[in-house]
Amino acid sequence: MISRLLGRFSHDLGIDLGTANTLVYVRDRGIVINEPSVVAVNTKTNQVLAVGENARRMVGKTPGHIVATKPLVDGVISDFEVTEKMLKYFIDQVHRQSFGLAPRPRVVIGIPLGVTEVERKAVEDAALHAGAREVYLIEEPMAAAIGARLPIQDASGTMIVDIGGGTTEIAVISLGGVVAWRSLRLGGNKLDQDIIQYARDHYNLLLGERTAEDIKMKIGTVTEDPNPTESKVRGRDLITGLPKEVSMTSAQIREALLRSVRTIIENIKATIESTPPELVADIYERGIVLSGGGALMRGLAQAIQAETQIPVQSTDDPLTAVVRGTGIVLEDLEMMRNVLVMSSEAQSFTP
């Protein structure tokens, strides 16, 4: 009764709980939070010092008693307590003007395909402990397809590839359900690690994660670049231990990313091979849709199209497709209930 009363003063939320970024959609207001999934904690006092962009600036720069940590790895929770604190911070941020009442919102959260029941329950519990009164889960590619306004309820095939920070989700959707899918623990973070490894192997240079991400975004490409570009990167020389600066070209970044990109493309082809022929015909006609931060990688759509011989396009604003999908579900929970993942509590009562 009290929970329901507090719910009247709460804003229902759609959350894209990503490895790299967490986005929050508020009903009737749109996307209000887009912050890195990073939390800085003082280990002496167990106090949260910063969340989001402020915590991200601390990564790799903290003293021993302060830990700037990413509580999600490969799309799933690796540190339950820190994830709970991060969600509570974001929920409180949304409800800053709620007259001092404890917020008790309903929450729709995107999760990767193929997560275990334990991983799914960890997301539910973290949201409930952070202050949610009801938690609904939706698979990320389904949310991305809804956010992209694709006709998921039709009796026809829609293929979406959601490339996030920790996972790549490949799904063929028809009649409101996933028909064929692959979930890879490989995303933007793995591409950053590929660049770090390349610099280590070819220049004996140790780069930080933020530096690798910056150069990926600046000159990263998947296809041959007719106008090669280069950028200077700074790190630590592994031989002398001193600072070092080198120039890396877009061709070198392409070489560094090649293996991971090939893995994504091969899994897209494998998913198509396991899809019923009638749906493959629909996909050939409609094309493959890319979402997530990886969709912004230069040349990726062309590389996938060259390999699959199927048209490929990105959604509008691919970074926000999943959270926009959770928001659309939130606007009409009863009508969209069939696309939600059954909660662990509901499963436990299934005869």
Encode pLDDT of 170-206 as tens digits.
999 999 999 999 999 999 999 999 999 999 999 999 9
Determine the pLDDT at residue 307.
96
**Mean pLDDT of the region 27-34:** 91
Task: Quickly state the pLDDT bin for 351 (edges 50, 70, 90).
Answer: very low
| pLDDT, position 348 | 37
Residue 98 reports pLDDT greater than 80: no
Residue extents of the structural domains in the chain? 2-143+322-345, 150-186+261-317, 188-256
Percentage of the chain surpassing pLDDT 90?
A: 77
Which CATH code for domain 2-143+322-345? 3.30.420.40
- In the predicted model, is pLDDT for residue 263 greater than 70? yes
Q: What superfamily would CATH give domain 150-186+261-317?
A: ATPase, nucleotide binding domain (3.30.420.40)
- pLDDT tens per residue, range 312-336: 999 999 999 999 999 999 988 888 8
Q: Check pLDDT > 60 for residue 344.
A: no
pLDDT of res. 261: 96
Per residue in 102-155, pLDDT (tens digit) is 788 999 999 999 889 999 999 999 999 999 999 999 999 999 999 999 999 999
How high is the pLDDT of residue 125? 95
Give me the pLDDT at residue 32, please.
94
CA distance from start to end of the chain: 29
Cα distance between residue 243 and residue 225, in whole Å? 30
CATH tag, 188-256: 3.90.640.10
Q: Determine contact, residues 171/274, Cβ cutoff 8 Å.
A: no
One fold for both 2-143+322-345 and 150-186+261-317?
yes
pLDDT at 75: 86
Residue range 273-317, pLDDT digits in tens: 999 999 999 999 999 999 999 999 999 999 999 999 999 999 999
Q: Tokens representing 276?
A: 């019923």
Structure tokens at 197: 């490894």
